Amino acid sequence: QVQLVESGGGLVQAGGSLRLSCAASGRTFSSYDMGWFRQAPGKEREFVAAISRSGSNTAYADSVKGRFTISRDNNKNTAYLQANSLKPEDTAVYYCAAAPLWGGTSPSGYTYWGQGTQVTVSS
């Protein structure tokens, strides 16, 4: 079992930045690939970014490529999502998730989920 807790969301103006954190407890954090997803009202949960357990491999949705950066610190059992140049269309609840194998871009590839943190970008 892995417990995940997101933090760092909030209200920001367009063009601003936020750093989301995902603190993990339970089983060994470094055994899991990590992903970030988001879900806006009335929309399906969508992939944002993923990072391998060592941090050597990353993947991004086209909509955030060049603006968002995923990282992790296995010593702190924490994954991060640095979100820059935020746009109103980035408004959503952001979730982190853990996968014992590479989870890819589908929510079904991830086993453990956090409760989410709200990001609201005003125009």
What's the pLDDT score for residue 30?
93
pLDDT in tens, 6-63: 999 999 999 999 999 999 997 789 999 999 999 999 999 999 999 999 999 999 999 9
Which of the four pLDDT bands, split at 50, 70 and 90, describes residue 103?
Answer: confident
Q: How far apart (Å, rounded) are the C-alpha atoms in residues 55 and 74?
A: 9
Query: Quick check: helix, strand or coil at residue 65?
Result: coil
Geometric angle at alpha carbon 93, from 89 and 96, rounded to 5°: 120
What's the pLDDT score for residue 1?
84
As a whole number, mean pLDDT of residues 97-112 equals 93
**Cβ partners under 8 Å of residue 16, min gap 6:** 86, 121
Q: How far apart (Å, rounded) are the C-alpha atoms in residues 87 and 61?
A: 15
What's the pLDDT score for residue 20?
98
| pLDDT of 76 strictly over 90 | yes
Per the DSSP assignment, residues forming a β-bridge with 85 are: none
